[in-house]
Amino acid sequence: MRTPTDTPTGFGSATGVPGLPEGFTDTFTSALVDVDGVRLHTVSGGDGPPLLLVGGWPQFWYQWRLVMPALAEHFTVIAVDPRGSGLSDKPDTGYDSTTSAAEFHRLMQILGHDRFSMIGHDIGMWTGYAMAADHPGPIERMVLVDAIVPGVSPSPPLLGDRRTSDFLWHFNFNRAHGVNEELVAGREDVYFGHQFRTKAAHPAAIAPEAVETYVRAMRLPGALKASFEYYRAIDDIMEQTRTRLRQKISTPVLAVAGDALGGENMADEVNALASEVTDVVVIENCGHYVPEEAPQALLDAALPFLLRRS
């Protein structure tokens, strides 16, 4: 029997964030699921085959809010806060892709889903690839959205062109130990506000109330440090990726990216990972935050692929 602490309310939950589509809370509910000692927060609803949504930095389940209602017309949607984000636990370790992949597979087992599809964005793309490489059987189809996977493409030069530098400089900053937390703590609005202004196609593409929600989530105890731990784990992730690249994944993949920040490179990225890439869709006038900048375009690309049964 579910206890009251299993159904969180307040900030970060399905009932405690602004700007949700009309009727959202009639369909979706929050839950805390114990996954081998780590509580993961999920927001789930809908009817049909299971569909796991895994996002990335510096966001949490809320990034999927604009596409979840339409997806829930066809799927049982499970949007999850990865460890370290949102209302999920924030342990000191376990931010490499092997641990993340195993944790999400276990989550879906606990929820009773032996087979499922998934959409992974940003770090969620790292995780989705690791899930399909390490334990491919349960994953039917996978949509990978706008990211580079550490260890796949050659690293760009430290002093490269301005466009690449503006898009990727945060990788090295986030990998630092300690000093980055000291610089950002108390100034989360400055740092993360800059991320959303410069990595979207237009500075105002992400609504101010959404940016404020992400900033507030980063001020939860342990959240800032945990968010950087994914980047501090990149050395381990690159080694894990080199092992995975010995054999391409066979899971059917659709890749989606915006055209404003290197979306043209997604084809090379996903074709290095997967043997069955159905398509690579590059959305015009869209930056990194595809589910929020271009929700309808993402749905138009993803739904026909996810609903395909063969």
Annotated catalytic residues are 122, 231, 288
Beta bridge partners of 77: 45, 51
Phi, psi angles (nearest 5°) of residue 216 = -60, -40
For residue 75, the one-letter residue type is F
DSSP 3-state assignment of 181?
A: helix
Alpha-carbon distance of 56 to 87, in angstroms, equals 14
CA-CA-CA-CA dihedral for 173, 198, 234, 219, to nearest 10: 70
Alpha-carbon distance of 202 to 232, in angstroms, equals 29
The C-alpha angle 288, 273, 70, rounded to 5 degrees, equals 45
259 and 161 Cβ atoms separated by less than 8 Å: no
For residue 265, the one-letter residue type is N
89 and 39 Cβ atoms separated by less than 8 Å: yes
DSSP 3-state assignment of 262?
A: coil
Find, among 144, 145, 138, the residue nearest to 117 by Cα. 138
Beta bridge partners of 116: 139
